[in-house]
């Protein structure tokens, strides 16, 4: 009687052991799947934030260029009442200032891209 009870307990323990292994495997697969999902969501959020920051940088550079052009146009209108000779000189200096500001913006953009590992500028 004691031997048959021991065999039954051993069989029951063996059955539970297999059942526990399946539960552990299912739990491990679930943990790995949840970890991968969280990683993908995190990477997606980081990429979206970086793209938004890049868009914000480009918009700020465009706004800076628009402000510079607007200031140059306003000063040209203010100085349009002066003599034609000084007007030519002023417009030449405005062209120089505008090309200098565009060159500065291109330099800032290229240095920003090189800081973040981009190969070349698209401006």
* Structural tokens at position 119: 């190969």
Q: Is residue 15 part of a domain?
A: yes
> Higher confidence at residue 35 or residue 83?
35
Number of independent structural domains in the chain: 1
Rounded to whole angstroms, how far apart are CA atoms 92 and 88?
A: 6
Q: Which of 84, 64, 66, 63 is nearest to 74 (CA)?
A: 66
Neighbour tally for 18: CB within 10 Å: 9
Rounded to whole angstroms, how far apart are CA atoms 110 and 112?
A: 5
Cβ(103)–Cβ(121) under 8 Å?
Answer: no
Q: What is the model's pLDDT at position 25? A: 93
> Higher confidence at residue 21 or residue 51?
51
**What pTM was computed for the model?**
0.44
Q: Is residue 11 part of a domain?
A: yes
Q: Is residue 21 part of a domain?
A: yes
Q: Is residue 110 part of a domain?
A: yes
Residue-wise pLDDT for 76-119, tens only, equals 666 665 555 444 455 555 666 666 666 677 777 777 677 766 54
Q: Is residue 121 part of a domain?
A: no
Residue-wise pLDDT for 53-78, tens only, equals 999 999 999 999 999 888 887 776 66
Q: Which of 87, 89, 65 is nearest to 77 (CA)?
A: 87
Domain of residue 99: give its range: 2-115
Q: Is residue 123 part of a domain?
A: no
Q: Is residue 105 part of a domain?
A: yes
Distance set, CA 106 to CA 101, 115, 122 (Å) = 9, 14, 9
* Structural tokens at position 85: 């000779």
Q: What is the model's pLDDT at position 93? A: 58
Q: Tell whether the model's pLDDT for residue 52 goes beyond 90.
A: yes
Q: Is residue 109 part of a domain?
A: yes
For the ranges 3-12, 38-47, 72-81, 114-123, the lowest mean pLDDT is seen at 114-123
């Amino acid at each position: 009687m004691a031997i048959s009870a021991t065999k039954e307990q051993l069989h029951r323990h063996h059955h539970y052991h297999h059942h526990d292994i399946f539960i552990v495997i299912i739990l491990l697969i679930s943990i790995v799947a949840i970890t991968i999902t969280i990683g993908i969501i995190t990477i997606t959020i980081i990429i979206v934030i970086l793209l938004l920051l890049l868009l914000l940088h480009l918009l700020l550079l465009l706004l800076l260029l628009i402000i510079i052009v607007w200031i140059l146009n306003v000063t040209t209108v203010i100085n349009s009442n002066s003599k034609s000779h000084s007007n030519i000189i002023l417009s030449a200096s405005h062209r120089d200032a505008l090309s200098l500001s565009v060159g500065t913006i291109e330099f800032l953009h290229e240095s920003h891209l090189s800081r973040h590992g981009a190969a070349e500028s698209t401006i």
